[in-house]
Structure 1
């Protein structure tokens, strides 16, 4: 009898375990859930702009068709994808490029490649696979993506919080 009362008490005191909401990386990733689609360029002269705080589903091109301004450090396999986009920075600071899949990313200024200052991964449930931070001055940049096994990738540029 005691055992039955104890078990009943424990059952009444226990509560169901609810799934924890997926935590997004620090910063405003609200647009990540509803990206707009663009096609990456195969040369710098036609690179479409990506705006800060706006997620883009980027249709990449077969890597052999992309004319990179500077050869990426990691070009990938012959059947990989890549492409070019432009990014305008109005205020100097640290900026993050978030990607939904594994790929190589370079940011080029007129004076050359910008070195990344940090790399990380988003939470597994967030859809953010890779995050690369850059310290950027005011100006226009070329974003190069290479070595993507996927023909499309979500990209978002945002200030580092």
Structure 2
């Protein structure tokens, strides 16, 4: 096994290096790499009684938003229960001081297809039992701040009910 430090791997580096990894940290691909990955990271994902323990100290870090969406969709589809789709607001507010040119520039379809790290997607599928993470500080003293993990317990028309993971 070679040791990595400061970007140098034991000698001259021409940009390509072979690194030997210990077999206990390598997953064997049994056909569907995403399924293999998710089942090894969250072995108790579909067991409601073990979900809290399974999710408490584990996370999947995705290199891009597209991969993040793919993992999220895969995990949502693992649960065969009925879900609910929530949509973001998709209208443009015109004030008296602006013309209609902003609505011509920012078409609703364009806005709904934006996918960037600082804004949630336009369409969000949720199910009871879905783990979620807060993206904003809501009530710091009650533990509801950016990064708090929760489990959805009820899906309402205008609000969600959730339990803090591990609580």
TM-score (norm 2): 0.21
If each structure's helix is expressed as a fraction of its own residues, which one has the higher value? Answer: 2
Q: Which structure would you say has the larger RCO, counting Cα contacts within 8 Å and 6 or more residues apart?
A: 1
Between Structure 1 and Structure 2, which shows a larger proportion of strand residues? Answer: 1
Question: What is the TM-score normalised by the length of structure 1?
Answer: 0.22
